[in-house]
Structure formats: structure tokens, C-alpha cells
Structure 1
């Protein structure tokens, strides 16, 4: 693939509504050279969230603004895919809640789309059980149909993605606290899980396994990278770091078989905290990672 195959769309989305550094991720990664991977840069979707209040009924933080952000990203993504039908979207966040906007579009306009979710966390909480109520704690649950109707219904049809069309890759499985262990145990059946120890032990094999799992589905696949999958000794510029993750070489090896599949519909990158990277070194590392993968 070369730069002519992609268009870039920013999603400066911080589901906490506190002005954390995730919203600065698109600008920081552009400044580090990410735009060279796209023949077209469509700028940013209107996904800025400034409300940090939790909805009393659902426990979701910034619920009305989150719904509006998801619709805005879905609209911008759809417009970009129609105008540049020969290119794949590269969506850059912002936090991983951007997947709500991505799948709000794909569910309505494409139909069944599978998900490779490379993430250090399962993101499968109920908002009321979350300490923060942030949608970054629960987007996988919402995508697969568990959560408030205002969120699960963003794609009109529920679920936005079937659980057995999801592969969760790189999440931590060892040394978990009781709450994290309960979250992991609550994942729906049918979902493919490839934990961080398996990824680290054989990165290319883990990526090849996830690619082979998707092939019989016969559907477009979305590749999502939450950069907190990386070990914090490699990338500390995230909100919720966890030890036990891969390094950049291992992550590149697992992503490469997924990025090269002909069924790849699009790619998203989330959760980089530009405010924790004042010198831009980590942004440059992430752009080099994209160089290797794409």
C-alpha cells in the first residue's frame, strides 16, 4: 500500500470532557509526519467533547455530547468514503470511543463489518460499574450491544458489530486486579481473544492467527489500534498505562498481517496523549510504526 490508498480523518475526541491530551493526538501525529501516509487529509471531524457530567440514569459521562460526536464522525467518515471511494480511511484520535462513530457509519451504510481491536484493555464495562463513566471504558460492550440504547442504537441496527466478528488482541491477562479480572471474565462468548502474553511470545503468529480467523467471515474488517497496548516503558504517553505489553517491533509484527489483508476496510489509531509528549519523541515513534505497517 502507498499513500494514494488512504485518506486521513482526525477525531479529536476526549470522552472525559476534561481537555486531556487525547484530543491533541491528531494534530501531534500530523506534525510528526503522519500526513505522508495519506493522499488526502480531510481535517478533523467535529468530535470535541467539553461536558464532564455523568448521566444520572445510565452513568455515562458526557452522554449527549458523545452521541453528537459519534454522529459527527459517522457523517464525516461517510462523506470521505463516498468522495474518495478508491481510498481507505485512516482515522486518528482522540480516544478509543471514536469506534462508536466508525461503526455508527459502517453498520448503517455497509452492513456487517468485523473488528480487529488491538488494545491493552477489554473496554467491556457497564458505565455504572466504571469509576469514571467514560465511554473509553465501555466501547466494546456498546459496539456488541450491551449498554444504554442511546449508544447501542447509534448504527440503528443493534449490535453495531457481532461479538463473533470481533478479535480482541493484546489485552492484559496476567496479574489483574479483581475488577479487571471480572471485566475480562464478562466478555461475550464467540469473541476471539489473543492476550498480551501470546502476542509477545509470537507476534507474527498472533497476527497471522487473527487474519486467518477473519478470512472465513467474508466481510470487510476494521483494524483499530489503541496505543496503550504498548508497554508503558515504550509509550508512557497514555491515560491508562498497564505493564506487560509489547514493544514497537512486536506490535508491528502483529499488525502487519492484518494491515495487508485485502478485506481491510480502514484503520484507526487512538489514545495517544500529546500533552505527555512535549518533545514529540513518542509521536515520531508512532509515525514510524505506521511507516512499517502500511
Structure 2
């Protein structure tokens, strides 16, 4: 595994249209992410935060809230992530709401042909402006990365599509909108809902997911939304859904990814300290990161 890691924070809450998640990068840093990874022998460069412009008034374009600001921040992020990749380092992006995946995937896919994506999330994030019930862009990044949605979201980083549906696996889904279900079926996207995790167990789910996502790819991006975990273990998220992945299941999944040694980039998103309990969710995020980078008890 690449031990040269560059951390980038994105204090973005406009994609979720709910204050607090913009403090996620600070909460994760406060939870000791740099010290934890350095103790594991990683060489950490913290590049600070991407600047996110905050409008003086609410804006919405064609059922896309804060479209201009989300596109601007993700364009900056894509450039920074691409530069990190070209330096031979591993980009670790801290959110911020999940709309930042637009920039992360854009920057990584510029440098990795046939990029695979493992998407841990209670939601599909496969809406477009036509299907979204809220207009919140944090519910659209996976669709846009696949080439579906508003042309300005799809066109971030200057090319589209950034990933192929056969190279994507969603894990932990338990809340999907009708338009998302239709797109999943039409594109044949591999989804492990909580039903499959309960029935098969996380070990088998990860075996199958890793095999699927690494079959025809040259690197895999991990996009982990903390609301993929059960709210009991990760209460500080903006859109909690009960019945999620347990703390131990999350660690097992990350440990198996580390053993597979397929990751080339990662992002951890949707930590909202305003809704949290004593920074618990940020500490969970840091613990999961350490497992993803190969931390072991013995």
C-alpha cells in the first residue's frame, strides 16, 4: 500500500443544504487522524482545506441547490486530487457532504483508467435533477460520475463518464428513491443492501465486492459515507437511517480492503459534529481509516 498520503479537507455543506457537515474535516482532524496514521508508519502531508464559496442568499438552478458553488469547489478539488496522484501519493479526502465525490472521483479518474468504486452508503446517490425529491446535490454524485445528470456536474474535471457501471459496487444501501432504483436496474449496478449483508455476512459480501470491483480495473476508490453505519455507532450524520452496518462490520470491511491492497484513493464524508455525541462519529471515521490502511491488533 502507498504509505505517502496527502489529506485534503472539503468543508462543504451546500450539497446537503444542512449546516454542520462543513465542520466535518475539522472534527476528523481533531479526532487525531494525522497522529493515528503516522503511528502506523504513514508519511502524511495535510494540504489543508479547499475553499468553498458561501453565497449570501439561497440559490437553486433546475432543482440543483447551490449548483454554482458546488461545481466551483469540486473543480478545485479535482485539480488538487489529480496533482496528488501525479506526485505518486494517496489522496485521502475528508468531507463535507457527499457532493465532494464529484471532485474526488474526477481527480482520481484523470490518472487511473478504468477506475473501480466501492460506495459505502445508506443511500444510492444516483439521483439527477429530474428524479431528486430535494434538489440536494449530495444525492447525485454517483449518477453524475457515471455520466447522468446536469451537464455541469457531469463535466467536472473536463470529461465524462468518469467510471463505468460495471466497475461500481454499492454496500449498505437501505434507502433508495424510485429514480435511483430504476437507474440501478437499467445499468446493472452491483448493490449489496442491508438484506444481503444480514443474509450473507459482511465477509462474503466483501469477498464478492472486491472480486467484482477489481476484475477489470486498475485501481479502486473508496467513498465511505458515515451514514452507511448504523446511527447507534455513527450518530453525527445528516441523513441517518436505522438498521445499518455495525461498527465491527465496518472494520471488517476496511480490514479486508487493506488485505486486498486495491485502493488508490479514499474519501470519508458526511461527518456532522453539530449532530454528534462528543465527536463520536469523527472518531469512528478515524478508526475505520486506520483499518483501511492496514492497522491490525497483532
Whether the 8 Å CA contact 1:12–1:44 is kept in 2: the answer is yes
- Supply the distance in 1 between the matched residues of 2:82 and 2:183 (Cα, whole angstroms): 33
Kept in 1: contact 2:131–2:179 (CA 8 A): no
Under a length normalisation based on structure 2, what TM-score does the superposition of the two structures give? 0.87
Residues 189-231 of structure 1: per-residue CA shift (max 9 Å, x gap): 2311111222244112111111111232132110110010111
For 2:138 and 2:145, locate their aligned partners in 1 and report how far apart those are by CA, in whole Å: 12
**Which blocks of at least 5 consecutive residues in structure 2 are unaligned?**
294-298
Distance, in Å, in 2 between the alignment partners of 1:101 and 1:73 is 5
Q: How many residues align?
A: 284
Pair 1:180-2:146 in alignment: no
Of 88-97 and 98-107, the range deviating more from structure 2: 98-107
- Say whether the 8 Å CA contact 1:14–1:48 is kept in structure 2: no
1:181 positional shift: 4.6
Match of 1:60 in 2: 64
C-alpha displacement of 1:249: 0.3
Secondary structure of 2:170's match? strand
- Which of 192, 204, 211 does residue 190 from structure 2 map onto? 192
Contact 2:238 2:275 in 1 (8 A): no
Moved over 6 A (4+): none
Q: Secondary structure at the match of 2:118?
A: strand
- Where 1:129 maps in the other structure, the secondary structure is coil
Matched, 1:239 2:227: no
Match of 2:224 in 1: 225
Q: Secondary structure at the match of 1:255?
A: helix
Which sits farther off after the overlay, 244-253 or 33-42?
A: 33-42
CA contact (8 A) 1:208 1:254 kept: no
Q: What is the correspondence of 1:37-116 to structure 2 with a 5 Å cutoff?
A: 37=37, 39-50=44-55, 52-55=58-61, 58-83=62-87, 85=88, 87-116=89-118
1:47–1:72: 8 Å Cα contact kept in structure 2? no
Indicate how the Cα distance of structure 1 residues 259 and 60 shifts in structure 2: closer, same or farther if over 3 A, else same: farther
Distance 1:153 1:286 in 2: 30
Residue 127 of structure 1 contacts residue 137 of structure 1 at CA under 8 Å; is this kept in 2? no
1:126 matched to 2:133: no
Q: Give 5+ residue unaligned stretches, structure 1.
A: none
Most deviating of 11-20 and 186-195: 11-20
Specify the alignment match of 1:155 in structure 2.
157
Normalising by structure 1, we get a TM-score of 0.88
Kept in 2, the 8 Å contact 1:59–1:127? The answer is yes
Task: Give the superposition deviation at 1:19.
Answer: 6.2
